[in-house]
Amino acid sequence: MPESLSAKCACGAVTANLTGPFRDAMGCHCETCRRQSGHYVAATQIDADGLQLLTSDRLKWWDASETAKRGFCSECGSLMFWREDGSDRMSVFMGCIDQPTGIKLTTHIFLEEKGDYYDV
Ligand SMILES: [Zn+2]
Ligand SMILES: [Zn+2]
């Protein structure tokens, strides 16, 4: 697994460097992830200190729930980050990480909320 990776949104307005160690990716099938992404998401996780934002003028944080915020590009809508309030960990959505990531998707969560149109 790499020591560091780079990330950017679809339009390139939000860019970041990520420092590991990186957790294996988890697929999240919760209703919020599915609605916000259009399907389901996969995310790795790092220490929050490991996120270095390079360009973030367009980064917007949405208070998705009482306990967590979701960071996305307000220009192109790319989902990038998820952070539980007060946590020293930061989830980074796999789709915004430049390849090769060296990270594997190994687990799935919130399967009880998954869409009825696919199987895991
Ligand atoms: Zn963007
Ligand atoms: Zn979710």
Q: How far apart are CA 102 and CA 25, in angstroms?
A: 10
Using the predicted structure, report yes or no on whether residue 25 has a pLDDT greater than 90. Answer: yes
- The Cα-based distances of 9 to 71, 74, 88 in angstroms read 11, 10, 23
Q: How many angstroms separate the CA atoms of 71 and 80, rounded?
A: 6
> Which ligand neighbours the alpha carbon of 93 most closely?
2
- What is the band of 1 on the pLDDT scale with cuts at 50, 70, 90? confident
pLDDT in tens, 53-71: 999 999 999 999 999 999 9
Indicate which ligand has the atom closest to the C-alpha of 68. 2
Residue 77 has pLDDT above 80, yes or no: yes
Q: What does pTM read for this prediction?
A: 0.95
For residue 79, the ligand closest to its alpha carbon is 1
Ligand 1 centre to CA of 112 (Å) is 31
What is the set of domains in the chain, with CATH numbers?
4-113 (2.170.150.70)
Please tell me the predicted confidence (pLDDT) of residue 2: 84
Enumerate residues with CB within 5 Å of ligand 1 (an ion).
Answer: 9, 11, 13, 73, 75-76
